[in-house]
């Protein structure tokens, strides 16, 4: 795969108003790209707009099919050259299954945001991306696709599903100009951990995004950030050990 050019693109990042998405937005903007971000909170989006007026903001809940369709229409009408989709938005619940606080509704919300939402956006944007140069679908997953952390069962399952879908998508799109890239992120210090606790091994958003950009420029299809590379090897040669190590964190 030839490397992605990270200049003069038009890039849509879901969940771009905070955490890793915001850091990525700032970095790619500085590199000379047109940035569009979406999220549910208008307040968070407006905050980004005040800091970076050139970033285009759109309110959208990607777990809702109608809102995804509206997002697609608005983005492609206003930015007909959009060529990169970054599926970054996420929700996570830290749950104790035995305590009865894990419901089908909760699993459904996690699956809709973390799996169905990205898949829905990919299917909507696919023809658009196929017509562009230097086009890519970038799906954010996690090292926990190799070994789940038991405190976040729904989140880990939704990301494992996205990982599997991404592999199939890459094979199906191999004869198209669209690159399919998966970023397997390590623990990063963001609001993601608000319901649990920030692991000691967590890195900063700027380090996470610098590693991601390096991987994109090096044409990696699966970008394993930080300790994820080691975990991916460990999970192959000693899966039970890997699972235990992850759950000691």
Ligand X SMILES: NC(=O)c1ccc[n+]([C@@H]2O[C@H](COP(=O)([O-])OP(=O)(O)OC[C@H]3O[C@@H](n4cnc5c(N)ncnc54)[C@H](OP(=O)(O)O)[C@@H]3O)[C@@H](O)[C@H]2O)c1
Catalytic residues: 155
Smallest gap from residue 34 Cβ to ligand X (A): 19
Residue 88 touching ligand X (CB under 6 A)? yes
Token representation of residue 194? 């608000």
Q: Which residue is nearest to ligand X (CB)?
A: 19
Nearest C-alpha neighbor of 15 from the set 142, 192, 134, 143 = 192
Q: For ligand X, which is the closer residue by CB, 178 or 185?
A: 185
Nearest C-alpha neighbor of 243 from the set 160, 157, 144 = 144
- The helix (H) or strand (E) run that includes residue 155 is helix 153-172
Q: How big is the site for ligand X, counted in residues (CB under 6 A)?
A: 29
**Binding segment toward ligand X, per CB under 6 A, in 100-108, 187-195, 215-223, 230-238:** 187-195
Q: For ligand X, which is the closer residue by CB, 88 or 132?
A: 88
> Which of 75, 89, 122, 152 touches ligand X (CB under 6 A)?
89
The two counts, helices (H) then strands (E), for the chain are: 9, 7
Question: How many whole angstroms from its chain centre is CA 102?
Answer: 24
Smallest gap from residue 167 Cβ to ligand X (A): 17
Residue 25 touching ligand X (CB under 6 A)? no
How many Cβ atoms sit within 10 Å of the Cβ of residue 190?
20
- The helix (H) or strand (E) run that includes residue 49 is helix 42-51
Q: For ligand X, which is the closer residue by CB, 89 or 137?
A: 89
Residue 185 touching ligand X (CB under 6 A)? yes
> Which of 9, 10, 39, 93 touches ligand X (CB under 6 A)?
39
Nearest C-alpha neighbor of 158 from the set 92, 246, 83, 232 = 92
First to last CA, the chain: 35
8 A C-beta contact, residue 129 and residue 77: no
Q: For ligand X, which is the closer residue by CB, 66 or 131?
A: 66
> Which of 192, 209, 216, 242 touches ligand X (CB under 6 A)?
192
Return residues touching ligand X (CB under 6 A): 14-15, 17-21, 38-41, 44, 60-63, 88-91, 113, 140, 142, 185, 187-188, 190-192
């Amino acid at each position: 795969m030839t490397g992605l050019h990270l200049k003069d693109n038009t890039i849509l990042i879901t969940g771009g108003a905070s955490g890793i998405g915001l850091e990525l937005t700032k970095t790619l903007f500085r590199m000379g790209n047109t940035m569009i971000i979406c999220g549910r909170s208008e307040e968070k989006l407006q905050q980004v707009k005040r800091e970076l007026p050139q970033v285009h903001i759109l309110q959208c809940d990607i777990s809702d099919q109608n809102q995804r369709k509206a997002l697609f229409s608005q983005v492609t009408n206003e930015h007909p050259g959009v060529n990169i989709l970054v599926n970054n938005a996420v929700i996570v619940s830290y749950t104790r299954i035995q305590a009865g606080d894990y419901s089908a509704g909760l699993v459904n919300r996690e699956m809709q945001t973390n799996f169905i939402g990205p898949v829905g956006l990919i299917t909507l944007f696919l023809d658009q991306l196929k017509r562009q140069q230097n086009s890519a679908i970038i799906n954010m997953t996690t090292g926990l696709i190799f070994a789940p952390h038991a405190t976040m069962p729904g989140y880990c399952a939704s990301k494992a599903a996205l990982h599997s879908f991404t592999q199939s998508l890459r094979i199906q799109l191999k004869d198209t100009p669209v690159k399919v890239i998966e970023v397997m992120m390590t623990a990063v210090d963001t609001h993601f951990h608000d319901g649990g606790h920030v692991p000691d091994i967590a890195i900063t958003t700027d380090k996470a995004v610098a590693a991601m950009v390096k991987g994109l420029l090096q044409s990696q299809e699966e970008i394993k950030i930080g300790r994820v590379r080691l975990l991916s090897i460990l999970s192959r040669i000693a899966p039970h050990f890997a699972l235990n190590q992850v759950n000691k964190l």
